Amino acid sequence: MKTDLQIAQANEMADIREIARQIGLGEDDLELYGKYKAKISQHVMANVAQNPDGKLILVTAINPTPAGEGKSTVTIGLAQALQRLNKKAIVALREPSLGPVMGMKGGAAGGGHAQVVPMEDLNLHFTGDMHAITTANNMISAFIDNHIFQGNTLGIETVTWRRCVDLNDRALREVDINLSRLTQEHQRRDGFDITVASEIMAVLCLAEDLDDLRARIGRIVVAYTNEKTPITVCNLGIAGAVTLILRDALLPNLVQTLEKTPAIVHGGPFANIAHGCNSVQATKLAQKLGDYAITEAGFGADLGAEKFMDIKCRVANLKPDATVIVATIRALKMHGGVEKAALTQENIVALQAGIVNLEKHIENMQKFGVPFVVAINKFVTDTQAEVEALQAWAQTNNYPIALCEVWEHGGAGGEALAQKVIDICENQPSNYHPLYDLDLPIADKITKIATEIYGAGTVEFTPEAQAQMATFTANGWDQLPICMAKTQYSFSDDPKLLGKPTGFTLTIRELRASVGAGFIVALTGAVLTMPGLPKQPAMLQMDVASDGKAIGLF
C-alpha cells in the first residue's frame, strides 16, 4: 500500500492518453484538449456496446448545510479506494457551473486528497461545454424574437422560452425587451435562468446519441399561439442548427483524479432547480469501460437521488446496484439545532437529535429497492465519542455504515467504504424500481413525491399551476415524470426547517413543460432558477499569479 506521502509525491498528472489506456481507449478514441483532458469520440459508445455493464454506484447525501457534506469528495475518494482494491473503477461526475464557483461555493472538484484534476480547468471553462449550451439556448431566443419581428408567420402569442447565462445574476431574473425602439409593438417580458437550469442542459444530459439529441431539441416547446397551440423548435426550423452547436459538447470529457483514477466529467444540471445528474452518455460509458461506475446526484437524496431514480434511470434504462448516503457529524449536529460556530464542540445530544434527517433519507432510498451504505465523511474536528455514537445508532438499526477519511488520506481513507460497496454488490441484489407510475395524473405524481419523500401533509397548487396542469394534460404531456424544483436545505419548501419536518404544506406555484428533456418541472416555494450572489462572493478571493496559476479557486 502507498503511504499518504507517496501519494502526494506521485500527484503529478499523467498524460490523458495514459489514463485512456487504463480503460481500453487509444489515441484514436480521443479528441485531445491539451495534455491532461480530452473528449471521448462519438464512435466509442458503439464500439463498447457489447461490453458487460459494470456495477453502478450512486452517491447521495443528507440535506446540505453550511457545515459541509463533501459528497463529491466521497464520490472521488470511493473511486480511488476501489482502484486500490484492484477494481477497475471510473468516476462519472457533473461539470461545475461558473456561477456558484464565483459565488458562494467556490471550486467544485472534490477536496483534499480526493480531487479531480486539472482542477483549474474543470472549475473555469473546461472544454467549453457550458458555453456551447448557453449559446445554443440563446440562439433559440434570438431566432424567436427575429421570427416575431419579421412577420410572425407561426402566430406566436406567448413566449415561454427564457435566455440563460452561466453566472449568478439576480438582475437578469426578469427583463423587458423591445424589438423595435420606435414602437411598443414588439415589447414583452423575458428573463434569464442560469445555464445549468436550462432545458438545453437537461436535453444534452439525457440524450443517448446525436440523433436522440436532435429529436429532443426538436420537441422543445418555446411558445404558444393565441389558440394555446404549442410551438416547438422543430416548428421554428432550427433543430439542426442547435444540434450543430452542441455537437462537440455532447462528447463526454475524460480527466483523472489525484490518484490517476479515470474520471468522466460531463453535464452539470443543478438538483434543486433541474434534474441534478451528469449525462447519460458519461454514466453508460463508465459502466461499459469499468467494473465499477461511481456517480453522484446533486444535493440531498430528496432531490438528486429521487430524480436519478425516477427520471434518469427510467429514461436511460439504468439499474443502480448500490447507493452511498453521505453524512457528516457536523451537518447532523446542525440538523439537531447547533449553530455553525459551535460545531467544533462535542455534542452527542445534538448529533442524536439530527440523525432523524439521515434516517429519513435512508427510509426514502429503501423505497427504490436499491441496497445502501452510510458513509461518515469524517472531519478532523469530529470526536471519537461522536463517531462511536453514530456507529452505535447504525448498528442498533442494522444499517451498514463505514467511516470515510478520503479528504485526509485519499483512496486509502475510503477502503472500508469501498469494501462495504463491493460486499453489497456481490451479495445483495438490487431490486430497483421507480417511486411512481407515469400514467398517474400530474398532481398525483407531485403529491406522491411530496408526501412519501418529503414528508408533506398536503400539497397546494396555485391557480396558475392548476391552469398549467390542464394545458399540459390536454397536450398529452401528463405521462412525463416530475422534476421538482425545491430548496436543497430542507425536506420542505422552507429552507429554515431542518431535521425531519412533517405534516407541512408544500406549495406548487408554477409548472414548466420541458418536453424535449422529457419531464415537467414543478417549482415550489421561493426557489429560483437564477441564483444571486452572496454579500461576499468567492470571486473576491480569486486572482491569477504571474506564472498563470489560479489563486483562491479551491
Which residues participate in catalysis according to the annotation? 71, 73, 94, 105, 271, 299, 379, 407
Name the H helices within 169-308.
199-206, 210-219, 233-236, 239-246, 280-289, 306-307
Is residue 275 a contact partner of residue 265, using CB atoms and an 8 Å limit?
Answer: no
| Phi-psi label, residue 55: left if phi above 0, alpha if psi -120 to 50, beta otherwise | beta
What is the grid cell recorded at 518? 422529457
If you ran DSSP here, which 8-state letter would residue 41 be given?
P
Considering only the C-alpha atoms of the chain, give the largest distance between any 2 of them, rounded to a whole number of Å: 74
Q: Are strands 543-544 and 550-551 parallel, antiparallel or unpaired?
A: antiparallel
Residue 21 neighbours by CB under 8 Å, 6+ apart:
none
What is the grid cell recorded at 543? 486572482
Residue 392 neighbours by CB under 8 Å, 6+ apart:
none
What does the alpha-carbon distance between residue 334 and residue 487 come to, in Å, rounded to a whole number?
Answer: 17
Is residue 406 a contact partner of residue 73, using CB atoms and an 8 Å limit?
Answer: yes
Question: Residue type at 82?
Answer: L
Contacts 24+ apart (CB under 8 A), 128-132: 128/248, 128/249, 129/95, 129/204, 129/249, 129/253, 129/266, 129/267, 129/268, 130/95, 130/97, 130/98, 130/166, 130/195, 130/196, 130/268, 131/166, 132/245, 132/246, 132/248, 132/249
Is residue 72 a contact partner of residue 108, using CB atoms and an 8 Å limit?
Answer: yes
φ/ψ of 540, rounded to 5, equals: -65, -25
Which residues of 292-417 form beta strands (DSSP E)?
292-296, 322-327, 372-377, 401-404
If you ran DSSP here, which 8-state letter would residue 36 be given?
S
**135 alpha carbon, distance to own chain's centre:** 21
What does the alpha-carbon distance between residue 286 and residue 24 come to, in Å, rounded to a whole number?
Answer: 12
For helices 239-246 and 199-206, the axis angle rounded to 10 degrees is 70
If you ran DSSP here, which 8-state letter would residue 489 be given?
S
Closest CA to 406 of 294, 268, 316, 266: 294
Decide: helix, strand or coil at residue 152: coil
